[in-house]
Structure formats: structure tokens, C-alpha cells
Structure 1
Amino acid sequence: MLRLKDVLKRTGFSRSTIYNKLNVASDHYDAKFPRQIRVGKTSVRWIESEINSWMEGYVKLSRQSQGSMAEIISAMVV
């Protein structure tokens, strides 16, 4: 299981970007981004294999697309 700091390192995203991807009210919401799991009163973790799978999909999509990065990200949010 990964801590937030590990997810930040693997994805290259900021803390606010991660939480915006999880927030349905955000313009940056990503329904495919792995959800965190609560492991304590104030602690959360992410499943490593879920983060890895999401990143693999992100890379595949970016390599297949001839469009802009905005189009790639939009396609992932669907």
C-alpha cells in the first residue's frame, strides 16, 4: 500500500491535483483514478497495483493519441 507521498512521486502530480482527481465537484475529476483506502482515523493509502494500472493506461493512451495533452487527459476522464 502506498502513502500519499509515494503516489505523488510515482505520478508526478501535486497533492492538490491528486485530491482534485478524486473530487467529483472538481473540473479535474478523474473517475478512473484509484480511490484511497482509509486505514486509520486520519490515514489513507492507495493500492499499489491500482496506481500502476492507472499509470499504464495513462501511458498507453498518451502513446496512441496524436492529439494534445488536453485531449489525452479528457479521454481518460470519461
Structure 2
Amino acid sequence: MLRRAEVQARLGIARSTLYGYLNERSSSYLPSFPKPLHLGSSIVFLEHEVDEFFVGLIRAREVASERR
């Protein structure tokens, strides 16, 4: 499990960006972003889901560069 700050560090994003990815009403919303688990007042993410999301970003970049 990864805490919020660890996810931010892995992806190189700010807290507001992370919450934008999770908020359906945000223009930054990403439905494919891993959903957090709530542990008391904290949230955590499953490490393998974050890793899969990151790999998906890399694949999307590679596909986009092949189309050029």
C-alpha cells in the first residue's frame, strides 16, 4: 500500500492534481486512475494499481509517438 504522498512522489504530481484525477467533477478527472482505500482519516492506494496506471501512461505515450 502507498500513502498519498508516496503516490505523488512516484508520479511527480501535486496533491491538488491527485485529487483532480479522483474528482469526477474536475476537468482533470481520470477515470482510469486507481481508486483510494480509506483507512480511518487516511487514504492509501494499492501499489500494483498505481504501477499499472503508470505503465499505461508510458504505453499511451509510445502509441502517440508512433502515430506521428
**TM-score in same-fold range (> 0.5):** yes
Q: Could you tell me which amino acid in structure 2 is paired with residue 24 of structure 1?
A: E
Amino acid corresponding to residue 65 of structure 1 in structure 2: A
Any idea what SS the aligned residue of 1:28 has? coil
Paired residues, number = 66
What's the counterpart of residue 34 of structure 1? 34
Task: Give 1 or 2: higher strand fraction.
Answer: 2
TM normalised by structure 2 equals 0.92
Q: Superposition RMSD on alpha carbons, in Å?
A: 1.0
Task: State how far apart, in whole Å, the 1-side matches of 2:58 and 2:9 are.
Answer: 16
1:18 deviates by 0.4
Which SS does the other structure have where 1:59 is aligned? Answer: helix
> For residues 42-69 of structure 1, what are the alpha-carbon distances to aligned partners after superposition, in whole Å with 9 as ceiling and x for unaligned?
11100000000000000010111037xx
- Give the secondary structure class of the aligned counterpart of 1:65: helix
Which amino acid in structure 2 is aligned with residue 45 of structure 1? V
CA–CA distance in structure 2, aligned partners of residues 44 and 27 of structure 1: 22
Q: CA separation in 2, counterparts of 1:32 and 1:13? A: 16
Identity of aligned residues (%): 32
Structure 1: gaps (5+ residues): 68-78
The alpha-carbon deviation at position 39 of structure 1 amounts to 1.0
Structure 2: stretches of 5+ with no match in the other structure = none
Secondary structure at the aligned position of 2:25 is classed as: coil
Stretches of 4+ moved more than 3 A in 1? Answer: none
